[in-house]
């Protein structure tokens, strides 16, 4: 992170994980001193992903216990704040832990604390289940719906994740600023994401217009949603997903790619070389892509990933369109955002490149997520 800092100079992936935790402090999801407590304990364990999980788990349990104590004392709001921080720490710990029971346990702990935290801290967030067909079988996609203040139908954003994030974080960094501007947000774990992947074993699919349509059908059925003013937004890898949805699901009134992609397969050709050479300049461990794709190994995951391209697709996007990117993005080169922007056919389209001088220049504004969140929220308020 050239525009930010490398907490672990020898390990970019771990440093990015630390930045994700640090940036959640803006929405009550972390405290710098607590993040640093974990970091100091990990200084002599750099690269040991199981130690990473264990130390974050330890801190999360400590903070959750603080929440339990505050709750027992009748301090509901304080307890809720502790629970929200614990939820973030459980998830940050889960990110790099290898596939298995411990990984699922950490995510379930994240869910438990998040539910407890929003109850009193964010009572305008409700749990919803979006009806969905997975390989012909009826199921649901899990989501959090954040209501904007006031009565009557409101413009609404459907917000999908990326490769390795989850709705518990995105409903806060993506939803709070929108709610302040009178816009609802539904943060949803689509196929290959968050809870849908971890607890329901629903892998990713290239034709994301299918879950995109399911999400639209759900929000449009709500009385507090203006069905003619619904946008689709997605984060990181979602820079492929959101344009794909908008290209084929024309009921969406706007599209936001929070981090641009054009040929996701080509991006992973580069990332695979980095992983196989022992490098750390990636966002996730080697197992992440096969797991997300629902494939047994990297070769088969890469084969499936060949369909994740926006050539011949992006030109079908005609609604108002925004792509944001950081000029120093080390995970997805800024050229990807330019390719996407150039290909989109929308008459009203915006390319926002965050510079090192202003901040937000790393991947999805990981070095200053507030800048990305407020820019995106302002653009949506103006264009939806």
Shared-domain flag, residues 309 and 172 = yes
Q: Give the count of domains, the chain.
A: 2
- Asked whether residue 132 is assigned to any structural domain, the reply reads yes
Which of 123, 142, 170 is the last residue before a domain boundary?
123
Tens digits of per-residue pLDDT, 33-69?
Answer: 999 999 999 999 999 999 999 999 999 999 999 999 9
CATH classification of the domain holding 28: 1.20.1440
- Asked whether residue 1 is assigned to any structural domain, the reply reads no
> Is the predicted pLDDT of residue 100 greater than 50, yes or no?
yes
- Asked whether residue 205 is assigned to any structural domain, the reply reads yes
Shared-domain flag, residues 197 and 320 = yes
Tens digits of per-residue pLDDT, 341-377?
Answer: 999 999 999 999 999 999 999 999 999 999 999 999 9
Shared-domain flag, residues 218 and 270 = yes
SS (H, E, C) the chain: CCCCCCCCCCCHHHHHHHHHHHHHHHHCCCCHHHHHHHHHHHCCCCCCHHHHHHHHHHHHHHHHHHHHHHHHCCCHHHHHHHHHHHHHHHHHHHCCCCCCHHHHHHHHHHHHHHHHHHHHHCCCEEEEEEEEEECCEEEEEEEEEECCCCCCCEEEEEEECCCCCCHHHHHHHCCHHHHHCCCEEEEECCCCCHHHHHCCCCCCCCCCHHHHHHHHHHHHCCCCEEEEEEEEEEECCHHHHHHHHHHHCCCCCEEEEECCCCEHHHHHHHHHHHHHCCCCCCCCCCCHHHHHHCCCCHHHHHHHHCCCECCCCHHHCCCCEEEEEECCCCCCCHHHHHHHHHHCCCCCEEEEEECCCCCCCCHHHCCCHHHHHHHHHHHHHHHC
pLDDT score for 335: 95
pLDDT score for 4: 57
pLDDT score for 154: 98
Shared-domain flag, residues 315 and 350 = yes
Give the mean pLDDT of 170-177: 97
- Confidence class of residue 155 from pLDDT cuts 50, 70 and 90? very high
Shared-domain flag, residues 191 and 76 = no
Shared-domain flag, residues 25 and 142 = no
Shared-domain flag, residues 108 and 148 = no
Give the mean pLDDT of 166-182: 98
Give the mean pLDDT of 317-340: 95
Shared-domain flag, residues 229 and 213 = yes
Which of 64, 92, 123 is the last residue before a domain boundary?
123
Give the mean pLDDT of 161-181: 97
Domain extent at residue 107: 8-123
**Mean of the per-residue pLDDT values for the chain?**
96
CATH classification of the domain holding 142: 3.40.50.1820
pLDDT score for 381: 98
Shared-domain flag, residues 110 and 243 = no
- Asked whether residue 242 is assigned to any structural domain, the reply reads yes
Tens digits of per-residue pLDDT, 294-325?
Answer: 999 999 999 999 999 999 999 999 999 999 99
Shared-domain flag, residues 47 and 192 = no
- Asked whether residue 3 is assigned to any structural domain, the reply reads no
pLDDT score for 1: 41
Tens digits of per-residue pLDDT, 217-240?
Answer: 999 999 999 999 999 999 999 999
Shared-domain flag, residues 188 and 332 = yes
Give the mean pLDDT of 133-156: 96
pLDDT score for 274: 86
Which of 91, 123, 155 is the last residue before a domain boundary?
123
Shared-domain flag, residues 141 and 211 = yes
């Amino acid at each position: 992170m050239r525009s930010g800092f490398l907490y672990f100079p020898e390990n970019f992936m771990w440093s990015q994980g630390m930045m994700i935790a640090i940036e959640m402090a803006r929405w009550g999801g972390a405290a710098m001193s607590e993040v640093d407590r974990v970091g100091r304990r990990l200084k002599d364990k750099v690269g040991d992903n199981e130690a990473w999980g264990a130390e974050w788990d330890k801190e999360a349990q400590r903070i959750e216990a603080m929440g339990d104590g505050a709750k027992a004392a009748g301090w509901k709001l304080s307890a809720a704040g502790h629970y929200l921080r614990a939820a973030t720490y459980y998830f940050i710990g889960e990110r790099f832990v290898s596939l298995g029971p411990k990984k699922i346990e950490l995510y379930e702990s994240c869910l438990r604390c998040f539910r407890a935290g929003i109850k009193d801290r964010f009572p305008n967030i409700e749990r919803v289940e979006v009806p969905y067909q997975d390989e012909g079988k009826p199921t649901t996609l899990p989501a959090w719906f954040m209501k904007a203040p006031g009565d009557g139908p409101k413009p609404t954003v459907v917000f999908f994740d990326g490769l390795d994030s989850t709705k518990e974080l995105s409903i806060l960094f993506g939803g709070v600023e929108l709610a302040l501007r009178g816009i609802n947000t539904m943060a949803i774990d689509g196929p290959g994401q968050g809870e849908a992947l971890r607890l329901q074993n629903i892998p990713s699919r290239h034709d994301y217009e299918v879950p995109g349509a399911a999400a639209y059908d759900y929000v449009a059925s709500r009385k507090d949603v203006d069905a003619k003013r619904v946008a689709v937004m997605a984060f990181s890898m979602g820079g492929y997903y959101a344009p794909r949805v908008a290209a084929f699901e024309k009921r969406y009134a706007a599209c936001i790619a929070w981090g641009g992609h054009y040929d996701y397969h080509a991006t992973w050709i580069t990332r695979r070389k980095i992983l196989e050479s022992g490098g750390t300049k990636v966002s996730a461990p080697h197992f992440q892509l096969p797991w997300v794709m629902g494939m047994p190994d990297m070769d088969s995951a890469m084969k499936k990933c060949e369909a994740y391209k926006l050539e011949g697709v992006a030109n079908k996007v005609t609604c108002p369109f925004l792509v944001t990117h950081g000029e120093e993005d080390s995970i997805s080169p800024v050229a990807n955002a330019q390719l996407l922007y150039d290909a989109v056919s929308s008459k009203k389209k915006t390319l926002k490149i965050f510079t090192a001088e202003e901040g937000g220049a790393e991947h999805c504004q990981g070095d200053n997520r507030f800048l990305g969140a407020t820019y995106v929220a302002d653009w949506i308020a103006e264009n939806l």
